[in-house]
Amino acid sequence: MTERLEVMISADQIGTRVRELGAEITRAYDGRPLVLVCVLKGSFVFAADLARAIDLPVRIDFLGTRSYGSGSETSGVVQITQDLSRPIEGEHILLVEDIVDTGLTVVHLIDLLKTRGPASVRVCALLHKPARARVPVAIDYLGFTIEDRFVVGYGMDVAERHRNLPYIGVVHPG
Ligand code: IMP
Ligand code: MG
């Protein structure tokens, strides 16, 4: 296999930005307890680093999702494969996403969480690809805006591969 990986965002750049996001979130919530909802699987690395950059009473929960449809294109119909472990009524929720692409997944998840009576729902996404947006999404805390390339690493995969790369890269088939 001769595929080549090109670094788009280095581990150092990610680390710096995640610490900045953590500080911004810490200031914004001003001591209030926060529930980080990590959207599996792609957000597990980002959520782990972000949680340690936030200086607030934090609870972590996980939402397993799968988008129907084929290949790397979402259909926007999000199947919940694993629900939150506890109710979120009255709590401040921060949805932690690896990447907002068409925006369909995040919009669906916000609607779902809001039916459960949280005090607030905000979104923190590491990456945003505005070129592919199909619905408007208000991203409250954003790491990086990127061009329209399919990226892997730092939790993100192509066919379940490359999630363990410490950087964000682009795969060039050999
Ligand atoms: P959306 O519903 O189109 O915004 O897509 C959301 C999900 O698709 C993300 O949470 C990712 O899991 C996946 N996704 C979108 N673009 C990429 C990419 O470039 N690399 C890896 N996964 C992606
Ligand atoms: Mg995802």
99 CA from centroid of ligand 1 (Å): 5
What span, in angstroms and rounded, lies between the C-alpha atoms of 38 and 44?
6
- pLDDT of res. 36: 98
Ligand of minimum distance to the alpha carbon of 105: 1
Is the pLDDT at 13 greater than 80? The verdict is yes
Residues identified as active-site: 101
List pLDDT tens digits, range 86-142.
Answer: 999 999 999 999 999 999 999 999 999 999 999 999 999 999 999 988 899 999 999
State the average pLDDT over residues 20-32. Answer: 98
13 CA from centroid of ligand 1 (Å): 21
- Ligand 1 and 91: CB distance under 6 A: no
100 CA from centroid of ligand 1 (Å): 6
- pLDDT of res. 77: 75
End-to-end CA distance of the chain: 7
- Ligand 1 and 68: CB distance under 6 A: no
Is the pLDDT at 69 greater than 60? The verdict is no
Please report which confidence band the pLDDT of residue 73 belongs to, taking 50, 70 and 90 as the band edges: low
Cα 96 from chain centroid (whole Å): 4
Ligand of minimum distance to the alpha carbon of 139: 1
- pLDDT of res. 71: 60
What span, in angstroms and rounded, lies between the C-alpha atoms of 94 and 118?
11
Please report which confidence band the pLDDT of residue 67 belongs to, taking 50, 70 and 90 as the band edges: confident
Q: Pocket of ligand 1, candidates 73, 98, 132: which has the most ligand atoms within 8 Å of its Cβ, to mutate?
A: 98
